[in-house]
Structure 1
Amino acid sequence: MALRIKSHWMNEDAERSLPEIAGALAFIAWRIALDKAINLHCERFVYRDDRQRIDVIEEYLVFLIQIADRLAHRRLDETDRRTLITQFAARVTEHVQDNSLDLFGSGDYGRPFIERLNQRSDEYAAFQLAEDGPSYAFLRHLGHEIQSLMGRVDDNRWVIDQVMDKDGYEAYKTFSRAFDNLFD
């Protein structure tokens, strides 16, 4: 079943601030990342535990932040792009913190996510986002990171293919469409 994302404002005539758009994008990104983590399970890939599942969700979130940065670069000036992406990353981090608290109890889950985001941002910097979507290398990197998290046990041997060939691109398409809708 396809994930339904609401990406139109209730009152389309009202002006939206970049922090408001960032908040909506963060919620949408969380839903997409969660959906893709669930889809891996539905495709018979096996999670060891909830920590591994959250790690996969976080990898998708990092990927979507990278996508948002490229999309914002096409649409906004440098100052507005920086504001949007900073607010977006902060709101995504809040989702990571809140959901991790629910699953694992008290702790600082936001800081490790930000560290992962900073590391991956350096890695993703070399990859391109064309008009038709992320490059092969972009999707391969996402697949590689998720493969690394899930291990190469028999049940998860082909997770990289699932992410590269299907889930990563679908995540991009859904997020890209929502991104455009929130600005239009």
Structure 2
Amino acid sequence: MALRIKSHWQNEARERSLPEIASALAFIAWRLALDQAINLHCERFTYASDAQRLLVIQEYLVFLLQTADRLSHDRLSDEDRRMLMIALAKKVVEHVQDNSLDLLGAGDYGTPFIEYLNLRSDEYAAFQWDEQGPSYALLRHLGFEIQTLMGAAPENRWVIDQVMDRDGWDAYKKFTRALNELFE
């Protein structure tokens, strides 16, 4: 079943603040990352635990945050882009914390995600990005990281291909469309 993403404002005439846009983008990013993790399961790839599935979702979130940063570069001033990305990252951390609490129980899940985000963002920043979107090398890196997170089970050995040829690109396109629509 296709994921339906609401990316239009109810009152389109009203101007939206960057924190409002960031909040909507964070929700969309969470839904897309979750959908991609579910899709891997539907394609017969396996997770050993809910914690492992959450790590895959987090990797997709890092990728989508990188996408938001790249897409907002030409659209916003440096200060506005910085404000958007900080608000977006804070909201994404809230989603990670809340959903991790629900699945894994009490604990601080936001702080480790921030550390993970900073580490991965430096890695993703080294890859090319053009007007068509992320480079094949970037999508390959995303696939490699997700395959590493999912482990060496024999049924998971083609995860990298699924992510770089289909799921990563699909998440990028849907997120890009939503971001563009939210800024209209």
TM category, shorter = over 0.9
Instruction: Map Cα deviations across residues 42-72 of structure 1 (whole Å, 9 max, x no partner).
Output: 0000000000000000000000000000001
Cα distance in 2 for residues equivalent to 1:127 and 1:86: 21
Cα distance in 1 for residues equivalent to 2:48 and 2:153: 11
User: CA offset at residue 161 of structure 1?
Assistant: 0.3
Instruction: Map Cα deviations across residues 79-104 of structure 1 (whole Å, 9 max, x no partner).
Output: 00000001001000000000000011
Aligned pair count reads 184
Aligned residue identity for 1:104: L
TM-score by length of 2: 0.99
**1:171 is matched with which residue?**
171
Q: Does 1:11 align with 2:38?
A: no
**1:113 is matched with which residue?**
113
Structure 1 unmatched ranges of 5 or more = none
After the TM superposition, which parts of structure 1 deviate over 2 Å for at least 4 consecutive aligned residues?
none
Is the partner of 1:74 in helix, strand or coil?
Answer: coil
Is the partner of 1:45 in helix, strand or coil?
Answer: coil
Structure-to-structure mapping, 1:83-162, within 5 angstroms: 83-162=83-162
The 8 Å contact of residues 23 and 88 in structure 1, kept in 2 or not, is answered as yes
Quick check: 131-140 or 77-86, which moved more? 131-140
> How many percent of aligned residue pairs carry the same amino acid?
72
**1:81 is matched with which residue?**
81
Cα distance in 1 for residues equivalent to 2:46 and 2:77: 43
Cα distance in 1 for residues equivalent to 2:118 and 2:137: 19
Q: Does 1:180 align with 2:177?
A: no
User: CA offset at residue 129 of structure 1?
Assistant: 2.1
Aligned residue identity for 1:81: R
CA RMSD of aligned residues (A): 0.6
Cα distance in 1 for residues equivalent to 2:130 and 2:38: 27
Is the partner of 2:74 in helix, strand or coil?
Answer: helix
Is the partner of 2:13 in helix, strand or coil?
Answer: coil
User: CA offset at residue 153 of structure 1?
Assistant: 1.7
**1:55 is matched with which residue?**
55
**2:32 is matched with which residue?**
32
Cα distance in 1 for residues equivalent to 2:128 and 2:64: 14
Aligned residue identity for 1:110: G
TM-score by length of 1: 0.99
User: CA offset at residue 152 of structure 1?
Assistant: 2.3
Cα distance in 1 for residues equivalent to 2:110 and 2:91: 10
The 8 Å contact of residues 67 and 129 in structure 1, kept in 2 or not, is answered as no
Aligned residue identity for 1:10: Q
**1:21 is matched with which residue?**
21
Cα distance in 2 for residues equivalent to 1:161 and 1:140: 8
Aligned residue identity for 2:169: Y
